[in-house]
A and B are shown apart, each in its own frame.
Chain A
Amino acid sequence: MASENMESLVNRRYEHGFVTDIETETFPPGLDEGVVRAISARKNEPKFMLEWRLQAYRQWLEMREPTWAHVHYPQIKFNEISYFAAPKSDDDRPKSLDEVDPKLLETYEKLGIPLHERARLAGVAVDAVFDSVSVATTFKEKLYEAGVIFCPFSEAVREHPELIKKYLGSVVPRRDNFYAALNSAVFSDGSFVYIPKGVRCPMELSTYFRINAANTGQFERTLIIADEGSHVSYLEGCTAPMRDENQLHAAVVELVALEDAEIKYSTVQNWYPGDENGVGGIYNFVTKRGDCRGANSKISWTQVETGSAITWKYPSCILRGANSVGEFYSVAVVNNMQQADTGTKMIHIGPNTRSTIVSKGISAGKAQNVYRGLVRIMPQAHGARNHTQCDSLLIGSECGAHTFPYMEIKNPSAKVEHEATTSKISADQLFYCRQRGLSEEDAVNMIVNGFCKEVFKELPMEFAVEAQALLNVSLEGAVG
């Protein structure tokens, strides 16, 4: 990046009387314009990006935290959070698996995570992980040949500013909501994907991504653009338990599918949920939205949510292009003191747009699980169709499940169907299975996996198996 650009940033920083040293690893707590400038400078961002962040910051100042969600938590003190932390250096990391918490390794084992991936997931210093580095390099070459751009968000800002200017904030505007505005001002890093016209991405971006899963920080920003006739499948997160010192996570994910393009976005979220009393768990406030901008495009969200103390998340589709298709498949598991308020929005704008929603909520312990879904059919969406199926499964008698379906239908030719069920794992069911020789835990797992199979079958194969194992681990000790 040009040095005068950098200089002007630094100068302006001082203009505003800001004194944070951008070389430090972690910024002191608090948020003002100076912090926003320092983040941008730290990342060597071009001017347009800084301006964009600053506008977001100013908009954020005028916004209020939303309170409509069915979740309870102590007030977040935004001025006590540090908004930038550089990734840990190799010196601070374990040198080999021998230095990693054996409990963590035990969980990897239970989840069936391949041996060569465990080291990196556990944060072992990179140069100690030979296998995956070479695998990653091979992936990188393959993607390059196909013309696919897949890089850290901050790299895209510098290397592909035209694409960023054109698409960033075009799906989730800065002022969309309180957390999206905050993210827009201070986002740390994330992923950028561009699939050129007519290209079918040669691999699941999952495999690649997982191997490279570094600390993306608490304000992640993801932008995926599938150009005309292209196709991509992306997997975010991983089944391995993720701990983080940062309690608040507010990510933004934007997907753009142009004509005839298809994006399949799968998430496995397993942030630390806190202990049985909910202490120390992550607050996960995410804005995810896909824009089916072109005709015949398709965006499909699949998520398996088992972690976090609080999850606030509604991956949505804007079905703008004629005949475009939106899908949402979700499994949300809450145990102990976890709270989840999650669901989706399907906004039908184009004619003959179709959407499918399959939501499976599982509650155990004292946890609360909320499904909140909006299906909106705009006046011009002739022939639009939606099918929603929303099932809740309760384990024990102290947990709760709540369903809030909203429907706004402004076109009489639309067809919207909603089905909802609530069931409970009964003592009789467990006894029946035990009489056939299954342990109580295996019986619960079997019933839960049966309940979720419609969603699991949407996940990439290797993750479906892990996700199933993850659910079992999450519900350990839920009965008995």
Chain B
Amino acid sequence: MLEIKNLKTRIGDTEILRGLTLSVQAGEVHAIMGPNGSGKSTLALVIAGHDDYVVTDGTVTYNGKNLLDLEPEERAREGVFLGFQYPVEIPGVNNAYLLKAAVNAKRRHNGQGEVDAFEFLKLAREKMAALGMDPKLLNRGINEGFSGGEKKRNEVLQMTMLEPSLAILDETDSGLDIDALKAVAKGINTLRSPDRAIVLITHYQRLLDYVQPDFVHVLSEGRIVRSGDKSLALELEDKGYDWVREAASA
């Protein structure tokens, strides 16, 4: 589904991704871990099409298409979803409005008609209840004054409504209380399916206790330096990143 080969990107004069290779197939859940500043969010933003990042080398294909040729909104409509590490606030714009506009953008792209307003609201409320979200958040400004955890849950709400083919969640577990973490994990697990891939960027094993990854990767200084199964995450928790770095440079 997603094939990244030797990806190099820079922002300004700084090279951040330095030859990253990663392959994600439909039906898989991947976890990407790695020290602060290693380039995890950069990778996510490059996949989503942020134009601050210049791709200097390498390829990214998604379902056989050159992803780098597509505008961010085209990628989204094709089923690429990014749950942001820092969701932006858009005061004054109704949260439900964006959610509906997003759902409709995708439906139009797929040749479907607009969603029925009543059905939409019903579905959104159900999903919110499952995530333990206050229904009032639907009618507030987008992320406006949301707490850290509310923002993260709002990202997951958007994801579950949009049902993406490729979901990348950038530290969606940070800042969640225990109950919220369980609810969010449940939301992610319900999305798991043979035709969908999920990439979890995280620092903590606790999310992976609930959402069991098929693969775990360690990103360090712009490259994947080690890959393994879920036991790698446990090992990391035990030994820290120095161990991986040493092993990589050895």
Contacts and interface: CB of A to CB of B under 8 A. Distances in A.
Interface of A: 423, 426, 428-429, 431-440, 442, 446-447, 449-451, 453
Contacts of A436: 76, 98, 101-102, 105, 158, 162
Nearest to A451: B92
Nearest to B97: A446
Contacts of A429: 88, 90
A426 B101 contact: no
Interface of B: 48-50, 71-73, 75-77, 81-82, 84, 87-88, 90-94, 97-98, 101-102, 105-106, 109, 141, 158, 162
Contacts of A437: 73, 76-77, 101-102, 105-106, 109, 162
Given A431-B50, A436-B98, A436-B101, A423 B91 contact: yes
B93 A438 contact: no
A438 B97 contact: no
6 contacts: A434-B71, A434-B73, A435-B84, A436-B158, A438-B105, A439-B105
A473 to B, nearest CB: 18
Nearest to B73: A434
Contacts of A426: 88
Contacts of A434: 49, 71-73, 76
Contacts of A449: 93
Contacts of B71: 434
A428 B88 contact: yes
A458 to B, nearest CB: 16
Contacts of B102: 436-438
Contact of A433 (B48, B50, B98): B98
Contacts of A446: 93, 97-98, 101
Nearest to B103: A437
Contact of A450 (B82, B90, B109): B90
A241 to B, nearest CB: 27
A432 B87 contact: yes
A467 to B, nearest CB: 16
Contacts of A423: 91
A413 to B, nearest CB: 34
Contacts of B162: 436-437
Nearest to A426: B88
A19 B222 CA distance: 86
A224 B98 CA distance: 42
B93 A450 contact: yes
Contact of A438 (B81, B82, B101): B101
Contacts of B72: 431, 434-435
Given A429-B88, A442-B101, A450 B141 contact: yes
Contacts of B90: 429, 432-433, 447, 450
A434 B101 CA distance: 11
A432 B88 contact: yes
Nearest to A360: B92
A423 B89 CA distance: 12
A431 B141 CA distance: 17
Nearest to A425: B90
A146 to B, nearest CB: 37
A401 B139 CA distance: 29
A307 B94 CA distance: 27
A439 B109 CA distance: 12
A425 to B, nearest CB: 9
A276 B218 CA distance: 52
A423 B92 CA distance: 11
Contacts of A432: 84, 87-88, 90
Given A434-B72, A436-B98, A437-B73, 17 more contacts: A426-B88, A429-B88, A429-B90, A431-B48, A431-B72, A435-B72, A435-B75, A435-B84, A436-B162, A437-B102, A437-B109, A437-B162, A438-B101, A438-B102, A442-B105, A447-B93, A450-B93
